[in-house]
Structure 1
């Protein structure tokens, strides 16, 4: 009987596993269907950096002495002096992926190649527990495990908002697959990138940098009003703090939804350095008028992608929504940097009628990340997935994932194993002193 079983091993549950590994007497086990840990392998573009400081590793913000820290990874891999002279807080995304894989390889509580196919709740009078049914990908065996609590860390899956029926997945593909189809795409005559965030910008820059060698036409469309940069001011970034999470969670559901809509540039903007590199490259190319086969157009929604009738490639049905004008665009390859949506596993459906919901898609979550059951129980299902509506803009923030895991471990253990810090930022989000009425 485990204290907790985690479903999925992405950075969030991996961080939980790394912290749990250092808690005496805590029995935890984590499953993932992948053969090994991989973090967005299709987007590990050379030169792309993590958008949070290296201190937002899997453990440091909870326990700087933890042996699974990024600094210990550097030390163990003889990279500490190189990093010292690198002298930066942001690190290559490829290095973060390698660091996380290093941690996963050191943890006995992480089991890969195991797909969770069912989770059942057994409400026995003596001891209630969850039964986790696991399919071994290699041996095809089905195993059963038992746990007092569950953590759902099933992450997200690509979001494709337009119709793409009949399109080849090797020609029209999500940015999460970019590295796998990059070379073939560059050998085509035309490539279109769709999206407005950091992934779209990084893909566009990578294609722009090699355009002079391959000679393809390059187009970038977004339905946003512009190619807006990420708000990186230090006070603005304080919304990714425990203080703001606590404030946000206390708001009503309607107020939380409205607050999310005002935080767009803090959550989904493009790193200023990436935009600068794109503009500088375009400017240098413009000296010799080498930008005529580059199109960059905001305010444009791509509504449908279908096979072109009389030529190879695809026809994109586009709509410039501000002027209300529709047009068609031809492209041989299309990269969909259109974001992600929460991945809720099939087995979770059996709990739908047992938990409380804020609307038809978003379940109710406590401040310590427990799903709220209509009939309260002592055996919890914690969730690290689909949290923006309950815990704010930092739901996918790597730094705040450590704070989440602290709270989950403390709740499971029934004591403050990892102390939760208060007043972590300079600003406050409401008046502390309540005047008597």
Structure 2
């Protein structure tokens, strides 16, 4: 196969993490780089770009600011180039609309010459003799194949929608929708007589609120169930937010694997939950809608584990639940179901082919350095960095946009062999070590 070129670093997948890495590499180094994504364009959670929903982190957590606030790829420079800087100033908000964050990512991707869409990475092999990776690719537009060699590779393949167990096989695709595809299916959902949401995180809450707003217009029954103990808010206290700091990530990474696994559930209120303002909006709307009704305009129930879904009649499904505390069972009927049940790591097949060469901390969790380097039984000169499936090693930084910048700094410093982007110190008032 024709080897098209050799580069210093190749990124697989172009989401916010690899996009930020590409920006920092372009402005701060002379390395030759390529980033490939099989999608034809950058689409950041298109199914959840609901009107008036906001990013859960401040605008400073953009692609580059925490590494280089002088960069031309900052969100503020995006606003400047779009002639929206004054409008944002008058907006008086620290958070930003999710739709605008998506537009910002697309703007950055268009400016970066190293990013190429419509290219699928089919295979990655390590050449022990030449100390580099051979990456086999396909151009999705014309199905032509080519190869690229690289010194280092960054796996930024993100995550895929998770529907637990066999539930996805019991309901037709048009009746059961994952939250990741909500907007594309919202009009069809609202034409039904009943809609049920399963899940308890931010996505579930935003979908519930959007459907609650339109309930009067369409007249559907609306229900919301979760297996969680309640509909809890995300931790937004200032000392709590210090867990999203380089210092805490360093502390967490140094813990033994067993202690890291024990700590992850305790970070649930920091990493998961629903924004306070979203829960407030939901309650206020429920209160106003309940005036004169004599009952709640929607059914909301926690501690309810979804066990099964089966066809009830021509248009309706029967959902079977178990109440976790009383251990009692109950059923619920609905025409449409929205599964806001999260995501699971998208680990490509070519990575699994290296399984025997990798050090594993469990059956599914590989050992990874603080900078994202996958640990091999026989150390390699050519590094494989993982931005996917690293919660067990990186905790709060695994999926956080702001801390992704810090991890990208570490990747670049490792590849260049110098402190190209110094890591900020003294960020917290509390001590972890």
| TM-score band w.r.t. shorter chain | over 0.9
* 1:55 has 2:51 as partner: no
Counterparts in 2 of 1:175-194, with a 5 A limit?
175-194=179-198
The alignment partner of 2:9 has SS state of strand
Please give the alpha-carbon distance, in whole angstroms, between the structure 1 residues aligned to 2:305 and 2:55: 28
What is the DSSP-based 3-state SS (H/G/I as helix, E as strand, rest coil) of the residue aligned with 1:62? coil
Give the CA deviation at 1:78.
0.6
Partner in structure 1 of residue 3 of structure 2: none
Secondary structure of 1:30's aligned partner: strand
TM-score (norm 2): 0.97
**In the alignment, what sits opposite 2:277?**
273
2:202 corresponds to 1:198: yes
Q: Retained in 2: the 8 A contact 1:163–1:305? A: no
Alignment of 1:12 with 2:17, yes or no, is yes
Shift of 1:24: 3.5
Q: Give the whole-Å Cα distance in 1 for the aligned partners of 2:337 and 2:126.
A: 44
| Secondary structure, counterpart of 1:357 in structure 2 | coil
For structure 2, the residue ranges without an aligned partner over 5 or more in a row are 1-5
* Cα distance in structure 2, aligned partners of 1:170 and 1:28: 41
Aligned to 1:411: 414
Alignment-derived partner of residue 346 in structure 2: 343
Deviations along 1:311-352, one digit per CA (max 9) or x if unpaired, are 312111111111111111111000000011111001111110
Do the aligned residues in 1 keep the contact of 2:131 with 2:380 (CA within 8 Å)? Answer: no
- 8 Å Cα contact 1:162/1:304 also seen in 2: no
Q: Residue 304 of structure 2 is aligned with which of 286, 300, 303?
A: 300
Q: Secondary structure at the match of 1:22?
A: helix
> Is the 2:286–2:297 Cα contact (8 Å) retained in structure 1?
no
Structure 1 position 290, deviation (Å)? 7.1
Contact 1:16 1:402 survives alignment (8 Å): yes
Secondary structure, counterpart of 2:160 in structure 1: strand
Q: Per-residue CA shift, 1:108-157, capped at 9, x if unaligned?
A: 00000001000011111xx3110111111101000100100000000001
Aligned residue in 2 for 1:132: 135
Query: Could you give the per-residue CA deviations for residues 284-328 of structure 1, whole angstroms, max 9, x where no partner exists?
Result: 1111217545100000011112222x3312111111111111111
Contact 1:162–1:303 (CA under 8 A) maintained in structure 2: no
Answer whether contact 1:5 1:150 (CA < 8 A) is retained: yes
CA distance in 1, matches of 2:294, 2:246: 48
SS in 1 for 2:63: coil
Q: In the alignment, what sits opposite 1:334?
A: 337
1:174-197 CA-to-partner distances (Å, cap 9, x unmatched) read 000000000000010000000010
C-alpha distance in 2 between matches for 1:166 and 1:254: 36
**Residues 292 and 273 (structure 1), Cα distance of their counterparts in 2 relative to 1, 3 Å cut:** closer
1:231-284 CA-to-partner distances (Å, cap 9, x unmatched) read 100100110110000000000101001111111111111000000000000101
Per-residue displacement from partner, 1:6-56 (whole Å, max 9, x unpaired)? Answer: 000011001101111113421110000000011000000001000100000
Aligned to 2:289: 285
Contact 1:163-1:303 within 8 A present in 2 as well? no
Distance 1:181 1:409, change over 3 A: same
Query: Which residue of structure 1 aligns with residue 368 of structure 2?
Result: 365
Answer yes or no: is 1:147 the counterpart of 2:115: no
d(CA) in 2 for partners of 1:158 and 1:352?
24
Unaligned runs of 5+ in 1: 431-437
- Rounded to whole Å, the distance in 1 between the matches of 2:277 and 2:288 is 16
Q: Does 1:233 align with 2:199?
A: no
Question: Is the contact between residue 200 and residue 231 of structure 2 (CA under 8 Å) also seen in structure 1?
Answer: yes
Aligned 8 A contact 2:290 2:297 in 1: no
Give the CA deviation at 1:167: 1.2
For residue 94 of structure 1, what is the aligned residue in structure 2?
A: 99
Report the Cα distance in structure 2 between the residues aligned to 1:262 and 1:166, rounded to whole angstroms.
34
Within the alignment, does 1:27 sit opposite 2:32 as a pair? yes
- Give per-residue Cα distances to partners, 1:338-395, cap 9 Å, x unaligned: 0111110011111100010000000000111100000011101000001110011231
After TM superposition, what 4+ stretches of structure 1 lie above 3 angstroms from structure 2? 290-293
Distance (whole Å) between structure 2 residues aligned to residue 291 and residue 24 of structure 1: 62
Does the Cα contact within 8 Å between 1:355 and 1:363 map onto a contact in 2? yes
Provide the aligned length of Structure 1 versus Structure 2.
Answer: 427
The SS at the match of 2:56 is coil
**Corresponding residue for 1:420?**
423
Alpha-carbon distance in structure 2 between the residues aligned to 1:143 and 1:274: 47
